[in-house]
Amino acid sequence: MPYTIGFDREKYIAMQSEHITARREAIGGKLYLEMGGKLFDDHHASRVLPGFTPDNKIAMLDRIKDEIEIIICFNAGDVVRQKMRADLGITYEEDVLRLIDVFRERGFLVENVVCTQLEGANANVEAFLERLTRLGLKVARHYMIPGYPNDTSTVVSEEGFGRNEYVETTRDLIVMTAPGPGSGKLATCLSQVYNDNKRGIPAGYAKFETFPIWNLPLSHPVNLAYEAATVDLDDVNVIDQYHLDAYGEQVTSYNRDIEVFPLLRTLLKEATGKEPYKSPTDMGVNMAGYCISDDAACRHASEQEIIRRYYKALVDERRSDRDSTESDRVLNVMRKANVTAADRAVVAPAMEIADATGKPGAALELPSGQIVTGKTSDLLGPSAAVLLNALKSLAGIKDEVHLLSPASIEPIQSLKTRHLGSINPRLHTDEVLIALSVSASVNPQAQVALDHLKYLRGCDAHVTTILGSVDEGIFRSLGVLVTSEPEYWKKALYHKR
C-alpha cells in the first residue's frame, strides 16, 4: 500500500495548543505539563500517523511559546552510569545541552535544569552541575525521598518535596521534558506544585503523552503499535476503569498510568488541597485522536510498524545473544493486530532473491507500490544494489544503464582494500552515494537519480542479513523504513557493527 496521509497536522497543532491553554486557564495558576515521549523528534508518531511530522509537538508549542517556560530534568544516576541515547549515540548529559540549544534556537525560554534523585556525592554529577552553572543555567538539586511514592505523608512534607531546591519560574505554563525515560519528570512536577502552593501560588499538573491514544479502542493498530514499541518496558494498554466508573465512558490508557493513579491523586490532593482528576485520562491533554483524517491509512501504517518492531526485536536479540522475551511480546501484539511477517510486502521478494542466489538480497517498496530488488554482487552489497535500483526506477532510467563510472568506483575500492584493511571491495550505501555524486559531474542521469533521493522517505525495505551500522545509518538518514532478518551472512562469534 503506497504512503497515504492519514493525519491532519495543521488541525492537530491548532487543537492541541488551544486545549493546553484551556487546561492552564482551568487550573487558574501555574500548570506543570509533563511531556511524555520525544518532544521534537517523535519518529514513532510520524510512522504510525502518516502526516504527523517528527517536530509536530514542538510546532504546536510554537503557537504558545510566549506563554511557555521549559525545564529540563535528568537523573543523577544516568550521569553516574554515563547512560546513552541509543538513537543519537550521545550521553544523557550531552543531550541536556543539545536540548537546550534546540529549544533556544526556536525561541523558547530555557533557564532551569533539575538534577533528580540525588543520593550522596558523586564527582561526575557535581562536575556536570558546575559545568551547567558556568554555562549560565540555573541548577536545582532534587533528592531521593525515602518511601517515594507510597509514603505520601513523608513525600508531601518538609522532609520530602520540601527538601528539594525550589525552581523559580517566570511563566504560568511550564513544560517538563528530559533526555529520556526515568529522568524524574513527574516527581519534579509534583515537587514544584507542592512548593508553589506552599508559597501561596496556585499550581497544578497535567500530562501530555501521545500514546496510547485515549479515544481509540484498545485493539486499534495505532495503540497496539505503542505496545510493540514498549515491549522492553512490558507496557500493556488497558481500559481506564477509573474513567469508566466516573463517566460511564470506555477509554484507553496503559498499565503504568492506571497503577500509579491512586498515589498520584493522593499526592496532588495533599500538595494542593484539591482532587482535580477522577481518572488518569482526565490528567491528559492529548488531542491526536481527533486529528486522524484517514483511519485506514493509519491502521495500515501501524500494522507495518508492529511488524518492523518484531524484526527489530529479533535482530537486537541476535546481536546481544539474548533470549526471545521481547520478540515473543511483539509476536503477541501481532496476534492481537491479526498480522504476520507475510503482511510486510518487501519480505518475500527479498527472501526470493536470497534463495535464488545463495547470497543476501534486498527489496524496497516505492511510493507507487512497485517493488524493486537488489542482490549481492562483486561490486555491490544488497543494500547498495537496492538503493541504486530504486533510484533508477524513480528516475525512469533503464535498468541496463550504468550510473556509476569506473573512475568513481575504483578509487573507493582501492582505498578500502589497499589502505583501510578491508577484504570486502563491495560498496556500501554511503560509498554508492559518493560514487553517484562523483559520476554526476560527467553523467547527467546520475544527477537525475540523486535528485530522486527525497522520494525514498517513508518507503519500506527489507534485507535478508543483519545490517552494518553504515547501511543502517544511511537508510535512517534517507527516511527508509528498513528491517532485516536476524541472520549474519557469515558465521562467526564476533560481528563488527
Between CA 148 and CA 417 the distance in angstroms is 58
Residues 5-12 have a mean pLDDT of 96
pTM for the model stands at: 0.89
Q: Sorting pLDDT into bands at 50, 70 and 90, what band is 85?
A: confident
The answer to whether residue 4 scores a pLDDT higher than 70 is yes
Q: What is the mean predicted confidence (pLDDT) over 390-418?
A: 82
Q: Is residue 434 part of a domain?
A: yes
282 and 412 together in one domain? no
Do residues 254 and 184 both lie within one domain? Answer: yes
The residue-averaged pLDDT of 152-177 equals 95
Residue 155 has pLDDT above 60, yes or no: yes
Measured CA to CA, the distance from residue 160 to residue 452 in angstroms comes to 58
Mean pLDDT of 151-167: 94
Average pLDDT, integer, range 95-100? 94
> Does residue 475 fall inside a structural domain?
yes
Who wins on pLDDT, 421 or 442? 442
Residue 463 maps to which CATH number?
3.40.140.40
User: According to the model, what pLDDT value does residue 493 have?
Assistant: 40
Q: Which of 8-17, 33-42, 207-216 bottoms out in mean pLDDT, i.e. has the lowest?
A: 33-42
How far is residue 186 from each of residues 7, 42, 262, measured CA to CA in Å?
A: 29, 20, 14
Residue type, 1: M
| Domain-located, residue 139 | yes
* 283 in the same domain as 416: no
Strands 109-118 and 90-91: unpaired
Q: And the C-alpha cell for 307? A: 511488524
Q: Are strands 237-239 and 30-35 parallel, antiparallel or unpaired?
A: unpaired
**19: amino acid identity, one letter:** H
Q: Is residue 86 predicted with pLDDT exceeding 70?
A: no
Q: 349 and 265, same structural domain?
A: no
Query: Regarding predicted confidence, which is higher, 431 or 352?
Result: 352
What is the pLDDT at residue 28? Answer: 86
Q: Let me know whether 376 and 472 are in one domain.
A: yes
Please report the pLDDT score of residue 495 as a whole number.
Answer: 43
Tell me the pLDDT tens digit for each residue of 187-245: 999 999 999 999 999 999 999 989 999 999 999 999 999 999 989 878 899 999 999 99
Residue 491 has pLDDT above 70, yes or no: no
**pLDDT value at position 169?**
96
Please give the average per-residue pLDDT across 21-26, as a whole number. 92
Residue 249 lies in a domain: yes
- Based on the fold, state whether residues 268 and 360 are members of the same structural domain: no
Does residue 274 sit in the same domain as residue 176?
A: yes
| pLDDT bucket at 412, cuts 50 / 70 / 90 | confident
d(CA 241, CA 261): 11
- For cell 568506483, name the residue: 409
Same domain for 269 and 352, yes or no, is: no
Question: What pLDDT score was predicted for residue 2?
Answer: 62
Q: Answer yes or no: is 253 within a domain.
A: yes
- Residue span of the structural domain in which 389 resides: 345-484
Residue 305 pLDDT greater than 50, yes or no: yes
By residue count, the chain amounts to: 497
> Are 280 and 369 part of one and the same domain?
no
Higher pLDDT, 273 or 175: 175
Answer yes or no: is pLDDT of 343 > 50: yes
Q: Are residues 228 and 154 in the same domain?
A: yes
Q: Is residue 325 part of a domain?
A: no
pLDDT at 494 over 50: no
Question: Does 3 fall in a domain?
Answer: no
Residues above pLDDT 70, as percent of the chain:
95
Do 99 and 213 share a structural domain? yes
pLDDT of residue 348: 98
Give the pairing of strands 203-208 and 30-35. Answer: parallel
* Number of separate domains in the chain: 2
- Whole-number mean pLDDT of the chain? 91
Average pLDDT over residues 238-260: 95
| Inter-CA distances, 441 with 197, 292, 387, Å | 67, 45, 20
Cα dihedral angle (32, 36, 37, 42), rounded to 10 degrees?
A: -60
- 247 shares a domain with 368: no
- pLDDT value of position 401: 87
At 90, the pLDDT band (50, 70, 90 cuts) reads: confident
Does residue 1 surpass a pLDDT of 70?
no
Bin 458: left if φ > 0, else alpha if -120 < ψ < 50, else beta: left
- Model confidence at 39, in pLDDT bands (50, 70, 90)? confident
**Residue at a domain's end among 291, 312, 335:** 291
51 — alpha (psi -120 to 50), left (phi > 0) or beta?
A: left
Q: Which residues of 416-435 are buried (b: 16+ CB within 10 A; e: fewer)?
A: beeeeeeeeebbbbebbbeb
- 417: helix, strand or coil: helix
CA distances from 472 to 428, 469, 478 (A): 10, 5, 10
Alpha-helix runs per DSSP H in 2-118: 9-27, 43-48, 56-62, 76-80, 92-105
